[in-house]
Amino acid sequence: MLLAQLALDTSELHAVKEKVLRFVPGFLRNRYGAGMLAMVLWLGLFADYDLYTMFKLRLQLHSMVQQRDHFEVQIGETRAQLHELTSDQELLEKFAREKYLMKRDNEDVFVLVAKK
């Protein structure tokens, strides 16, 4: 009696298993395929460097490269100005008057500010 009931239970389990496996793709029925899917999900969603983090880091790298290029241009301009100022005394006086509003002893300086 117990053996007949056990055989009946296994046939029911087999029928349920077949119903479930109809909805599972073929490559996931294999343990290697399921393992690969689990690995891809882990690396894509749960790892320290998942896809979202990698995307954020690439955006940050791109913005830092743009900043570096911008600062290299500014450094080049500043070095050119420094070379001009150290080589010509008249340019040094002009720079001091324009940037720092310096004046000679017998001069008055008027600063005009445009209205916005």
Predicted local distance difference test score (pLDDT) of residue 77: 95
Predicted local distance difference test score (pLDDT) of residue 4: 55
Predicted local distance difference test score (pLDDT) of residue 6: 53
Predicted local distance difference test score (pLDDT) of residue 8: 57
57 domain residue, yes or no:
yes
Region of residue 88 (left: phi > 0; alpha: psi -120 to 50; beta: else): beta
Could you report the average pLDDT of every consecutive run of 10 residues in the chain (116 residues)?
57 80 78 87 86 93 98 96 87 83 80 85
- Residues 41, 1, single domain; the answer is yes
What's the structural domain count of the chain?
2
114 domain residue, yes or no:
no
Predicted local distance difference test score (pLDDT) of residue 19: 81
116 domain residue, yes or no:
no
